[in-house]
Amino acid sequence: MSNVIDTLVPKVGVITGITDETPDVKTFKVNAPEGGKLFEHMPGQCAMVCVPGVSEGMFSITSSPTNKEFQEFSIKKCGSLTDTLHSLQVGDMITVRGPYGNNFPVDTVFKGKNLLFIAGGIGLAPLRSVINYCIDNRDDYGRIDILYGSRSADDLVKLKEIQEVWMNVPNVNVYLTIDREQEGWDGHVGFVPAYLEEIGFSTDCIGIVCGPPIMIKFVLQGLKKLGFTDDQIYSTLELRMKCAIGKCGRCNIGNKFVCKDGPVFRFDQINELPPEY
Amino acid sequence: MQGLIDRLKALLADGTVARVIGWKKGDMSYNPTPAVFNSAEELDEFVYDGFCGANLSKMMIDATKLEGKTAVLLKPCDSYSFNQLIREHRVNRDNAYIIGIACRGKLDIERAKATGIKGITDVAGVEHDGADTVTFKTLYGDKEVAYNEILLGRCYMCKGKEHVIADEVIGESKDTAVMDRFAQVEAIEAMSSAEKFEYFKKELSKCIRCNACRNVCPCCSCRKCVFDSTKFDTQQKANVDSFEEKMFHIIRAFHVAGRCTDCGECSRVCPQGIPLHLFNKKFIKDIDTFYGEFQAGKDPEAQSPLTAFTFEDVEPKIVSERSKG
Amino acid sequence: MPMINGEFRPKIVAFCCNWCSYGGADLAGSSRLSYPADVKIIRVPCSGRVNPMFILRAFERGADGVIICGCHPGDCHYSTGNYYARRRMTLLFSMLEYIGIENGRTRVEWVSAAEGVKFQATMNEFVDKVKSLGENVRLGDLRCKD
Amino acid sequence: MLKISIDKLSALYDAIAANNELILPVRKAGVVDYASYEEGADVAIDTLKTAKSPKNAFFPQFETLYNVNKKIIPTDASAEEGACEGAGVALRSTLSVEMAPLVDKDFVIFGIKPCDVKGIEVLDNVFLAEPVDNFYKARRDHGILVTMACNEPEESCFCSAFGIDAADPSKAKADVAVWMADGNLYWKAISPKGEALTESVKSVFEDSDEAAVEATKASIEGILAKLPNANLSLDMWGKGVLDDRFYSPVWDEIFKPCLACGTCTFVCPTCQCYDIKDYTTKDGIQRYRCWDSCMYSDFTMMAHGNNRNSQKERFRQRFMHKLSYYPDKNDGMFSCVGCGRCVDKCPQSLNIVKVIKAFEASKAKEGQA
Amino acid sequence: MQRIGVFVCHCGTNIAATVDVKKVAELVRFEPGVVHAEDYTYMCSEVGQQRIIDTVKEKNLTGIVVCSCSPRMHEATFRKCAEKAGINPYMVEIANIREHCSWIHKDMQEATEKAVILARAAIAKVNLNAPLQEGESPVTKRALVIGGGIAGIQTAIDIADAGYPVDIVEKTPSIGGRMSQLDKTFPTLDCSSCILTPKMVEASAHPLITLHTYSEVENVSGFVGNFEVDIRKKARSVNMDKCTGCGVCMTKCPMKKVPSEFNRNLNTRTAIYTPFAQAVPNVPVIDRENCMYFKTGKCGVCSKVCQAGAVDYEQQDEIITEKYGAIVVATGFDMIKLDKFDEYAYSQSPDVITSLELERIMNAAGPTSGHLERISDGKAPKNIVFIQCVGSRCNDHRGKPYCSKICCMYTAKHAMLIRDKYPDTNVTVFYIDVRTPGKNFDEFYRRAVEQYHVNYVKGQVGKVVPKADGTLDVQGVDLLDNKQIVMNADMVVLAAAIEPNPDIRKIATMLTASIDTNNFLTEAHAKLRPVESPTAGIFLSGVTQGPKDIPETVSQAGAAAVKVIGLLAKDKLKTNPCTAKCDPIACNGCSTCANVCPYGAISYEDQLVRGPGVNETRRVAVVNTALCQGCGACSASCPSGAMDLQGFSNRQLISEVDAICR
């Protein structure tokens, strides 16, 4: 056996914790078998998580790099791999390789800026890494606004953390909304883009958007209405991936590979790409 | 050929058809491409000659879904494929205008090259009403070969030059069959078990799983091939072991058994020159032997032998009984 | 090659229809009619359910023999399933023979729910035949062997 | 320069094979492809174009990357969650990852043509770019390329359009250049690796001047100039043409006969798309990679959709990649070397040359209008 | 993937003696999806089931694998158990480690290994199981009884008495069957027709029973609760409504030389006839093959003499189609042909007869008006030899391997009756064993021996040789004295084996009911479901299931009736949810599946198909789950794999193959 470690060859990870977030989203805590984290990463980066024999898929690392104990993945049930992941228990082993892709420019462009996070549904997963990173380095950033919506109150991922941690951090404003009226919900009701325009954020910040394609489309229109320009809005993309290192030829959009050149793109960059995403 | 082009233009002009599926001149004199012609102007690039071997019937699956009728040029053997597609409800007959086009056998450029011809710059004598001799102009001098010497392998085993379906037939065909349809199959059947295995191992180990045979096959018209789906957990793209290629080709042949019209496209397109028709012909021969003669595509109403039975059918043990070991 | 006490032990997959042959196997069992443990039975509703893919898959995964058992022609619980199976298997076996696979590795047998004895005899015979052919080299997937 | 009579080539093969695996064109069931030099191999060294490119030697159609083994081991922490209860000894299931061994023996590819050497350069830009693909790199490190001039190029060749010199393999990024001329094979080491190989097989050669080689070069150049696609224009392609070409109406019609098979991809020396899949074994899985084709309908299929849903988009992807995306990323270098295999092999006679010409024609038409 | 619990049953020692059940539980514990594995003495017991239920709740199981006896035994039990535990019953799979493993293997290691593999296959399958919902289908509240013998009559009366209409289809012109041919019945010696005739009349007069005599079942389609049956009513040539049953036609018919089937061809009948005097219905039929009018076009006597004008030469066969919820097969038996037993000289001498022929000879309405006479010369026989087991308990292909069950008793009856009526006649019985289990049976037999001095010889007869003087030499062995004997007899009576009615094969095929090697219909379970066929909705009555005497037949007929009533009492039936299902995204609409469907359950419709990369209206296959019986022929024929069978899906079966071959 070779001593060379190839980036295609994964490490074994142990599931050390499972949290039911919503009826179809679970957050998995992953450690190396000997304890500690499998690897270091930056906010926005992804990893290939695999149940051997089922398949491998790219998931954004939802925990912040500032978490020194473990990594977390919030995973929505939507196919054979995620179905299997959802049936796993604490103590089960999976394989993980990564981190892959670029990251949100938290140490450069974002530094000292006001940040506006807009997420829908499971779209909070990649943003949570950034949000917690910014919260843990609170002094490096200006005002933080978080607008997060989902189908229902039960579908809001990480609600406990949002309410108990984020809402209590100084100069962090959280706006929650759900699509339809629901008993026991006294918060805002309505779609994210509509709520966005209702609140009417000022353009003195960087927008970071993640959610279903249709939400992104309307949020973008909304932001533009508010005066945002493409080069101050970031998002992350997702396409079918196999290698995660820009070689298997699958996830390119024009001359960019989402796995390697992305997944984080600024909207003016996305606009230059052919519409194959 | 001008007459043919004029006829096609007329069909477009009087609105009988909205488009024509035929062949377009290649950038070299031996590589015409199947193409869709939407206008008279485009038809100036139309060609029909000895190199138009491609079976166009499968293109009609999509074409007959379009608005207006589509004219398609079908050689006698292609017309069987079209009938089979009708039987399987894959084409809309009402949206098709079938021009039965005459055939005097189609040429195999590989067979020509195998005679030592290379660096071809021009070819003459390949029109339907052309000469009996094909002249190749090459970088290394001119060469002449008899037309009938360099036909596609299937043409020597042609099952006949009659169009089983056509709205009109243009031209007169010439018979090209010189050998028994099943002679090659019988030769293999006569081998010992070990010889058979060696023969197919050698041939099939060349397979690169490019799927050309499947994708060109008018019977392989599945919207989602089992080998591309997860239905059987057989989602394999490469021959990752000695079995894969056998599995793929056996199953492919089995899936078209009783439906394959023996058009020979699989062997024509194989980039590795594997005689894939030997699988299909074996099934056809067995079906003929066990269940009575059956030509798929001859009659669009006929029941496929694999969806029929008789009480007196042979038992599977017939295989070991007649086997030579 | 899987050997037990120096003897080749083949892997044999038997597809048995629920109504006749599976019952035949049950009857063989309740009558304590022994046959080699190499035979593993998969229950299918009807011999007509057996897709050729299953048979090739078994060979791919290292089976040395595959046998399909169904109701006697005319007795199919679903009237006609075994007639289709008969045609399918005849053609498939013929093709396997044609590409040089030993035809003793495949078999179709009609066994009714009352034929425990026949079930036993068939399995004994088939296992002997496959044993005499040895390991399935020609159709096996090389990666499966240990 | 060294030479050896063509009659004695088997002595050279034996000498090379003594220390390295030797891979060269071999005829099998009527088709010539690169294969190992072994007993009974029907060597067809004068083959201009093998059916498949030799990329298989560096990027095999199928290769195992690693095994994930599942083991059941006793655990001392029986109270631990997930451990088996009530079975006497507490057990738990673990996984271990075992990477497949990398190639560690030298091998020689003999008779590789300059276009295919360039093809390997194209692959290098992908596989050796960070993060390096170690499986590929190990093969590259151990592979020695003996490249041969193309004595009788054919009409499907258009390597000169990419600046490849089929007459002078010594210009190629290989290790040894060879020519066949006047009944001899002429041998010239062009890299340190090549020199080392030369040293190990020197005994079979005799010294020679370059006269015969020069004559052959001249003759080949004469033919190359006459090839129908010698002057295939690539003006419309390269870096920075993405937007103009991507939206061109030419794509709307030209893809139609495409069968969506992978013939062009699999015979191509530069196509490098791959898939990674699992094979379930007795005690775990084997994870392998295999060639894939961007022409296949399920290439980019995801649970919730496909970003290249139509064959037009997939067809466009392949050619845009070769002629625009790849050059964008690699300083203008094309991901096509003009070997012409797709020209020969496409079941529908549709190929990159026709695509390039169709764009030229459409530009000419626009010019007229 | 599921969360699976594996439950390994010891079945007392039935499994545990040969399979190391603890080891099985241990070894499957880390199979994919398994979160619990345990073993228990009797999984099917109340306690065992409770363990399953508790574990499902405790560990949140979504799938269950029970390693136990055949699924044909307890699949239903464990499915109900799963339902009680709150999971879908179809999330249960059984690994058959008893019938297919522990009972047939001796070596513990080997059996344990096999059990583990079978368990793995079941686990692999259950991982791919999906919850299935049973559908409902209506029940046609009408039953069909095929065969109008005592079995059919009794079943019909019992069903009709419960308030459901019943049709009896009888091939011959009258109901009554074999019992109507018998003279006396054992062990009570009461007159057969005296007890049968009232039953026949009752059936005929019952407002809910319809008789279709001289009729045959032509075609059967449909399924339990919803059979559709074509019945051919053969042309009787006599109008049933007009005929008064006066019988003049029969007396006047000039064609009197037709062998009488009813009297086993021992005498003749007319061309227009009723089989016997008490026939129900009492309407004659014209035997067109033998009728002068039909043969030559001349005669017409019967038509002329019929005052009711009932004779109708123009009558045609009529096919009627009826719907039924249940079908009872009561086709009865016949005696085997004796051509393979020529050593007994049955074909050589008219005085070698079968017991059924003797039955007719002894009957007052029989060919000899009840006088015991030799057929050859009408003389009273002085020495009669009975030969038992002619073709029964026969190891070679000439006869039947089974015991015909009734012969010992009827022979004792015959012997006794003869000795009683003709005390000077010597009666000898050659037997292999005398089998008399049954109430008052052995007492009956002992009376024959002790009271009537019937000479019972244990031994077989090798040969019967007709002699020139018209007597017969019977060459046999006396096994008790171990000596050869030659005995002169005037008459030899053969207890020929009984076999199922030869029509049963055709009928079974139509009904898709399975049949055993002896042509008896197979019961769903030999012990627990003896009157049901494995094919739902088909029930067995009488000798069609196996040899029986009259009381047994009648009780089984009643049992079958109860099962039918139980079925007809339901308004809806649960349908098998393991039906075929089409994935419209992959479906080509090619019709291959519809061509092989035996139930016509597949149709095609233009459907809007939406999925990854698809959004168009196209022709796809649709399965009618009420008609689909889940045979899977469609899914094996579908090239793209679009058509799949729920519960036995392609992936499931392949995962089983993989698990076995691993």
Is E406 a residue whose pLDDT tops 50? yes
Number of domains chain E is built from: 5
Whether residues D345 and B26 touch (CB distance < 8 A) is answered with no
Find the angle CA(D203)-CA(D209)-CA(D211) to the nearest 5 degrees.
135
Report the Cα–Cα distance between both ends of chain A, in Å, rounded. 40
Cβ contacts from C onto D, under 8 A = 6
E509/E491 same-domain check: no
Question: Sorting pLDDT into bands at 50, 70 and 90, what band is A4?
Answer: low
Whether residues B221 and E588 touch (CB distance < 8 A) is answered with yes
E639/E606 same-domain check: yes
Write down the pLDDT at residue E213: 96
Whether residues E3 and A84 touch (CB distance < 8 A) is answered with no
E620/E508 same-domain check: no
- All chains having 3 or more CB pairs closer than 8 angstroms to chain E: A, B, C, D
- All chains having 3 or more CB pairs closer than 8 angstroms to chain D: A, B, C, E
Write down the pLDDT at residue D81: 47
Find the angle CA(E454)-CA(E460)-CA(E464) to the nearest 5 degrees.
90
Q: How far is CA E60 from CA A77, E6, E26, in A?
A: 18, 13, 20
Domain boundaries, chain D: 2-60+105-226, 65-99, 242-368
Q: Which of C29, C40, C54 sits opposite E653 (nearest CB)?
A: C54
Shortest distance, CA D344 to any CA of chain B (angstroms): 9
Region E155-180: what's the mean pLDDT?
96
DSSP H or E segment with residue A192: helix A192-199
Torsion-angle region of E61 (φ positive above 0: left; ψ -120 to 50: alpha; else: beta): beta
DSSP-derived secondary structure for B95-136: GEEEEEE--S--B-HHHHHHTT--SEEEEES-BTT--SEEEE
Find the angle CA(E630)-CA(E634)-CA(E640) to the nearest 5 degrees.
130
Expressed as residue numbers, the domain containing E621 is: 580-645
D280 contacts in E (CB within 8 Å)?
658, 662
pLDDT tens per residue, range E331-340: 999 999 999 9
* C142 CB within 8 Å of a chain D CB: no
Q: What pTM was computed for the model?
A: 0.82
Whether residues B237 and D297 touch (CB distance < 8 A) is answered with no
Question: What is the crossing angle of helices B193-204 and B244-256, to 10°?
Answer: 100
Region E469-479: what's the mean pLDDT?
94
What six digits make up the tokens of E95?
């690994």
Question: Sorting pLDDT into bands at 50, 70 and 90, what band is A273?
Answer: confident
Whether residues D28 and B273 touch (CB distance < 8 A) is answered with no
Q: What percent of chain C has pLDDT over 90?
A: 68
Q: What percent of chain C has pLDDT over 70?
A: 92
**Which amino acid is residue E485, in one-letter code?**
I
> How far is Cα E567 from Cα E644, in angstroms, rounded to an integer?
30
Q: Are E108 and E18 in contact (CB under 8 A)?
A: yes
- All chains having 3 or more CB pairs closer than 8 angstroms to chain A: D, E
Q: List where CATH 2.40.30.10 sits in chain A.
A: 11-100
Does residue E653 lie in a domain region?
no
**What is the spatial order of strands in the sheet that E209-212 belongs to?**
E209-212, E166-169, E143-146, E326-329, E538-540
Q: How far is CA D24 from CA B35, D40, D119, in A?
A: 38, 13, 17
What six digits make up the tokens of D182?
């006047």
Q: How far is CA D202 from CA D9, D15, D74, D188, D198, in A?
A: 13, 9, 59, 11, 6
Phi/psi at D247 (5° precision): -90, 5
Whether residues D84 and E29 touch (CB distance < 8 A) is answered with yes
Is E157 a residue whose pLDDT tops 70? yes
Region D364-368: what's the mean pLDDT?
80
pLDDT tens per residue, range D323-345: 999 999 999 999 999 999 999 99
E578 contacts in C (CB within 8 Å)?
45
Cβ contacts from B onto E, under 8 A = 62
What six digits make up the tokens of B97?
């205008």
Candidates C51, C72, C87, partner chain B, best to mutate (most B CBs within 10 A): C87
E95/E215 same-domain check: no
Expressed as residue numbers, the domain containing C128 is: 3-144
E224/E322 same-domain check: yes
Domain boundaries, chain B: 180-325
- Fold classification of A114-236 (topology level): Rossmann fold (3.40.50)
> Within its chain, how far is the Cα of D368 from the centroid?
40
Is C139 a residue whose pLDDT tops 80? no
Whether residues B254 and C52 touch (CB distance < 8 A) is answered with yes
Q: Using the 3D structure, point to which of E513, E543, E568 is the last residue of a domain.
A: E568
Relative to beta strand D143-148, strand D107-112 is: parallel
pLDDT tens per residue, range A86-113: 988 888 889 999 899 999 998 888 888 8
E275/E413 same-domain check: no
Whether residues E509 and C75 touch (CB distance < 8 A) is answered with yes
The CATH class that applies to domain A11-100 reads: mainly beta
Q: Using the 3D structure, point to which of E499, E524, E545 is the last residue of a domain.
A: E499
pLDDT tens per residue, range E409-457: 999 999 999 999 999 999 999 999 999 999 999 999 999 999 999 999 9
Whether residues C144 and D282 touch (CB distance < 8 A) is answered with yes
* B302 CB within 8 Å of a chain E CB: no
Q: What percent of chain B has pLDDT over 90?
A: 71
Q: List where CATH 3.40.50.80 sits in chain A.
A: 114-236
Whether residues E1 and A89 touch (CB distance < 8 A) is answered with no
Q: Are D299 and D309 in contact (CB under 8 A)?
A: no
Region B88-97: what's the mean pLDDT?
93
Q: Are E622 and E582 in contact (CB under 8 A)?
A: yes
Region C2-13: what's the mean pLDDT?
80
Question: Sorting pLDDT into bands at 50, 70 and 90, what band is C12?
Answer: very high
**Which amino acid is residue E476, in one-letter code?**
G
Is C95 a residue whose pLDDT tops 80? yes
E24/E112 same-domain check: yes
CATH number at residue C122: 3.40.50
Is E15 a residue whose pLDDT tops 60? yes
Shortest distance, CA D281 to any CA of chain C (angstroms): 6
E112/E217 same-domain check: no
